[in-house]
Amino acid sequence: MQEIFDRNIPTEFNTTNFTISVMEPFMSIFSPIVIVGMGAGAGIGDTIGMITGNVYSLGVVGYGAIVCVDFMLATVYVLFTFMLPLLIHILSGFTRIMMFPVHFDKLYASGFPLFIYSNFLALGVAGLAIGLTIPYTNYTKNP
């Protein structure tokens, strides 16, 4: 009986270990991304309720986190902030679901495909995702 059961149990698994990159600038192609926090942004594209498709968008997160998974490089990028430093995300071809969005659509309602938004949670897939930080430097002199 032992020989029968041992043949059906695989002994090796093909697993990929992901590298975790914390607080380092990144650029990722065709990757899922999650943005959580308080911030504001502007985009060129279309909004349909909670679903948004952007040709390009740029946002600033002042309190929150960005998590981006790059399957090509097997890397998970994590940026987070508690007020400083500020996180900047530049996204191209971003299709997402926005939870609790606040849109300022006067420009969009007038016919321009430009919108300004504030958001609490966005999750989606980006054709190109770039994450940067504006570093905080304490300029006080030590006595």
Distance (Å, whole) CA 97 – CA 142:
47
Of 11-20, 46-55, 109-118, 125-134, highest mean pLDDT: 125-134
Residues sharing a CB contact under 8 Å with residue 112, sequence separation 6 or more, in sequence order: none
User: For position 104, what pLDDT does the model report?
Assistant: 63
Residue 75 lies in a domain: yes
pLDDT of 39 strictly over 80: yes
Residue 5 lies in a domain: no
Distance (Å, whole) CA 34 – CA 68:
6
Distance (Å, whole) CA 131 – CA 90:
7
Residue 4 lies in a domain: no
Residue 126 lies in a domain: yes
User: For position 90, what pLDDT does the model report?
Assistant: 92
pLDDT, average across residues 9-15: 58
Beta bridge partners of 92: 56, 128
pLDDT of 25 strictly over 90: yes
pLDDT top residue among 50 and 32: 32
Residue-range definition of the domain harbouring residue 32: 18-134
Count up the domains in the chain and report the number: 1
pLDDT band for 57, please (50, 70, 90 cuts): confident
pLDDT, average across residues 103-129: 75
Residue 142 lies in a domain: no
User: For position 111, what pLDDT does the model report?
Assistant: 66
Residue 1 lies in a domain: no
pLDDT of 31 strictly over 60: yes
* Report field, pTM of the whole predicted structure over 0.85: no
